[in-house]
Amino acid sequence: MTKPESEWTWKELPVGNVVLEPGNASQYRTGDWKTLMPVLTKERCIHCGLCYIFCPDMAYSVNEEGYFIADLFYCKGCGICARECPTGAIAMVEEEK
């Protein structure tokens, strides 16, 4: 997709609005739905990966240091990770825009 969908004219739409680019849902920013964002306190993290497992948007991935970090481009701020974290390492805090 060379330009955002909101700039497409009707003439540029493929017949039947077929999506020709496989996997382009990854370009969809669901991160701007959130009001709260997860913040990790590394000292408490035991690297169990429950946040990664429970995240409904697969926003979590492991960084080089072995911590699970939410990609805020996708994170909707649902707070499931914070709820499931067994050590309380994740806090949901208001996102500053």
Partner 1 sequence: MGKRVGMEVSIAAAEAVKQANVDVISAYPITPQTHIVEHLSELVANGELDAEFVPVESEHTAMSVCVGSEATGARSFTCTSSQGLALMSEIVFITSGLRLPIVMIIANRTLSSPLSIWNDHSDVMSIRDCGWIQYFVENGQEAYDHVFCAYRLAEDRDVLLPVIINMDGFILSHVIEPIEFIDQEEIDRFLPPYKPLYRLHPDQPVTMGAFALPSIYTETKKAQEVALLSSMPKILETWKAFGDLTGRYYNPIETYKTEDAETVLITMGSFGETASVAVDRMREEGRSAGLVKIRLWRPFPFDAFRKAVLGAKNLVVIDRAISLGGPGGPVASEVKAALYGEESKPTVYNYVAGISGRDVSPSDFIKMVDKAEIEIEEGKKDGYEIYGVRE
- Which residues of the chain form contacts with partner 1 (CB under 8 A)? 5-6, 8-11, 13-20, 22
Catalogue the E-assigned strands of 30-89.
36-40, 60-62, 68-70
Q: Of 20 and 58, which CB lies nearer to partner 1 in the complex structure?
A: 20
Q: Of 20 and 65, which CB lies nearer to partner 1 in the complex structure?
A: 20
- CB-based contact 80:58 (threshold 8 Å): no
Interatomic CA distance for residues 94 and 68, integer angstroms: 20
Q: Of 15 and 65, which CB lies nearer to partner 1 in the complex structure?
A: 15
- CB-based contact 51:84 (threshold 8 Å): yes
| CB of 76 vs partner 1, minimal distance in Å | 15
| CB of 32 vs partner 1, minimal distance in Å | 12
